[in-house]
Amino acid sequence: MKNKIKYTNEPIETKVISDFLPKPEDLILKEKRTRVTLTLTEKSLEFFKSAAKKHKASYQAMIRRLLDFYTANQASQ
């Protein structure tokens, strides 16, 4: 380091913040799943695989979430 840090004895203002973060076990979204066989077009599968690779995710999880969003939207109409 070129520049040395000069420390002083000035008072530091602190403030206690209540814990607002959820517990780690509350972040796990485990829903009951049912295995199905689904036939997709090559174009659709390649789209999901490339998007998943780009975002470092699972293409199957992306498809599952898409279906969940669609279902939730249709149920609210």
Q: Could you tell me if residue 33 is inside a domain?
A: no
Residue-number span of the structural domain to which 51 is assigned: 41-77
Q: Count the domains in the chain.
A: 1
Q: What is the pLDDT of residue 1?
A: 60
> For the residues of 13-65, what is the DSSP string, one character each?
--------SPPGGGS--------------HHHHHHHHHHHHHTTS-HHHHHHH
Q: Could you tell me if residue 57 is inside a domain?
A: yes
Distances in Å between the Cα of 41 and the Cα atoms of 46, 47, 51, 65 are 9, 10, 16, 18
Q: Could you tell me if residue 15 is inside a domain?
A: no
Q: Could you tell me if residue 58 is inside a domain?
A: yes
Q: Could you tell me if residue 29 is inside a domain?
A: no
Q: Could you tell me if residue 6 is inside a domain?
A: no
Higher pLDDT, 50 or 77: 50
Q: Could you tell me if residue 69 is inside a domain?
A: yes
Q: Could you tell me if residue 74 is inside a domain?
A: yes
Q: pLDDT by residue (tens digit) across 23-54?
A: 777 767 778 889 999 999 999 999 999 999 99
Distances in Å between the Cα of 29 and the Cα atoms of 25, 26, 39, 51, 77 are 9, 8, 26, 22, 25
